[in-house]
Structure 1
């Protein structure tokens, strides 16, 4: 019994390692030595090892005794497999020099095998160019693939291959290495774009925090200073002139209420980008999710508070459509201060008032409005309706 959890944990660690190596979700070493994220979907090193199955025909020749002498051919095939694995392994761990040496050895082993044994051994050529695509980048990979293709044409012609077989094999072999190189390069670029986007997001958050702190200081600094001064006046007048002290206290109350209103307005603006910006974002998000969007706007939003709150409602409603509805169409209708978001998805199935809708409901109620969320009677999907006074 004591070995069960430990064995399960070891198996879980092994599974995670295999998954990260075959198709990493965090980072993968770039064959040029840089490390970059593979969130764009780049393959890991284990994705290239199954291609060794392409070498089955030469192995079958060895096993069936169709190759003479057997020992040199077997040693050559073993060296080919080892050097191929080294090319992939060293490339994905950032050891460029070792990977280049392994690739040179692979080329030096492969061509003598192709020239001496021909026929089924030409299946090793695609593996050779895949290794070239994994190890090299830029112009160098193009030059080497052209040289390898020309050398392969010469070897196949010398071995007596037909022109059709010669052209198909050489062309397919070169294209295979080129595709591998392009895919890995694109993976690296997409990873760098992910890193850049995250860095820009962090900078934007830092700037927004600075803006918010500056706005709060501008809003409250003067008001609180006045309140402190009036509170001192109340303290001095309390024992001598109760009526004057009460008047100053009323002023403090009015200043406090005004400050509270300004803070609420600032927080509402901070949490929402405004209705127009959210509607533009909603169109883009729905289009990217494959949902046909229809947006209708009539009338004007009367206050900044309502504009910010309705913008937040659009963001929350569209997020729920994309995440939970499986809808194909979504309509957003705004008439004055009444917003309706309808979809033709799964209706209320699997939906509930999460934190987003709860927070939205509280803010709508604070402005004296109403929020309705539930099955849409006409479309059979889901309806979110926000009505502000």
Structure 2
């Protein structure tokens, strides 16, 4: 899982496993560090034992309800009335504790504001947060020497509440974007399936219909006119061959090789053959379609020859961008330390590569790689293809 996905699961969805549960609890509970004021008041405020016990109980209840409310609401939304009731309970408990134990307990109102911002829609929280702050101010005015504390808490209460409102909106937007992205991916897949179905219908619909009609006609002509039936059979063969060519052309378009795909395939094929792969290439961006396809086919053919015929122990694939007087070009070198070229006559594979390169004004150079078990052994295949000036550098 990526960092973004884990952050989403922790902040906006139910925790998946103990690890996310702990992280989510820490993410919500980290703000409890500001509870040091009431804790210090309980420990050193000169309260009686009974007062300390009741204050501790009230603080534990407040913190527990706060954690449960925020944790539950950010995992699985509760009913709005239940949320409002819980926030009201927190506000009433904050008033009771502040009036009972004094000024340090006014900080509880900050957590009431945060709860409202984190759990309620903005149309409710923008009204409730100022109301909670007003209650805090009113409560503070009834306490002795509370003006300075109240003044210091007004801004954190408002900021904390509305900041959590912003976080809630951000999480909601993130959820909507994730859903929209999933929908777009599904629509793209459906569109691709429709395009494939449409292309196959256009390619094969007419041909298959014609083959069917001519087959029926040949069957009727065969007993009395075998020569005319033979003509229909010949037409059927011609139509079927053309349909096969059309299908192959369409499949080639769907499965056009790319440099990233062939680089990954080369690494896998060499590893499966027990050949050490030294790939010094990062597929550049912005390569035109035809040059990229030619290089990809060349890489596939070269790696296939290394695996099948070279007897090599190591193969080096280098893809670099070079600037020449005639413009930028992309150079692919596939070199091995095997037994070298099989003979002076080029095989069908190299001939096919040369023909593809000629179509895009590229060049093919073959020769010893100099890395084999004896001087001059090994084989290197170098393809150079001119590309546009917008190609990103691979170096």
Counterpart CA distance in 1 for 2:61 and 2:10 is 32
Give 3-state SS (helix, strand or coil) of 1:375's partner.
strand
Partners in 2 of 1:319 and 1:257 — Cα distance?
34
The verdict on how the C-alpha distance between 1:265 and 1:25 changes in structure 2, with shifts beyond 3 A counting, is farther
Is the 8 Å Cα contact of residues 113 and 121 (structure 1) preserved in structure 2?
yes
Q: Quickly say closer, same or farther: Cα 1:216–1:142, change in 2 above 3 A.
A: same
2-side partners of 1:256 and 1:235: how far apart? 17
Matches within 5 A, 1:34-73: 47-64=27-44, 66-68=46-48, 69-73=51-55
- 1:84 aligned residue: 66
Deviations 1:116-163 (CA, angstroms, capped at 9, x unpaired) = 434543443332222111221122211111122233334445442464
Q: 1:149 touches 1:171 (CA, 8 Å); kept in 2?
A: no
- Give the SS at the match of 1:67: coil
Q: Of the candidates 163, 181, 189, which is equivalent to residue 165 of structure 2?
A: 181
- Corresponding residue of 2:379: none
Other structure's SS at 1:376 match: strand
In structure 2, relative to structure 1, the CA distance for the partners of 1:159 and 1:376 (3 Å cut) is farther
Pairing partner for 2:9 from 24, 27, 30: 24
**Which residue among 311, 316, 319 is the counterpart of 1:376?**
319
Pick which of 55-64 and 135-144 moved more: 55-64
Task: Give the whole-Å Cα distance in 2 for the aligned partners of 1:155 and 1:189.
Answer: 37
Q: Which of the numbers 86, 103, 106 marks the counterpart of 1:102?
A: 86
Structure-2 change in CA distance of 1:261 and 1:178 (3 Å): same
* Separation in 1, partners of 2:263, 2:105: 57
The match for 2:145 is 160
Cα pair distance change 1:375/1:202, threshold 3 Å: same
1:319 positional shift: 11
- Give deviations 1:342-374, integer Å, cap 9, x for gaps: 9xxxxxxxxxxxxxx79x959xx9xxxxxxx93
- The total of aligned residue pairs comes to 287
Classify the secondary structure of the residue corresponding to 2:286: strand
Q: Partner of 1:288 in structure 2?
A: none
Decide whether the 8 Å contact of 2:113 with 2:160 is kept in 1.
yes
Partner of 2:248: 264
SS at match of 1:66: coil
The residue that corresponds to 1:332 in the other structure is 286
What stretches of structure 1 of length at least 5 have no aligned partner? 1-15, 30-42, 273-308, 343-356, 366-372
Cα distance, 1:189 vs structure 2: 2.3
Matched, 1:144 2:128: yes
Note the C-alpha offset of 1:110. Answer: 0.7
Helix, strand or coil at the partner of 2:292:
strand
Aligned to 1:313: 258
Q: TM-score, normalised by structure 1?
A: 0.58
Bigger Rg, structure 1 or 2:
2
Gaps (5+ residues) in structure 2? 15-22, 266-278, 305-315, 323-329, 334-352, 360-395
1:6-45 deviation per Cα after TM superposition (whole angstroms, max 9, x unaligned): xxxxxxxxxx9xxx9985279737xxxxxxxxxxxxx956
For the residue of structure 2 that corresponds to 1:374, the secondary structure is strand
- Inter-CA distance 156–197: structure 2 relative to 1 (3 Å threshold): same
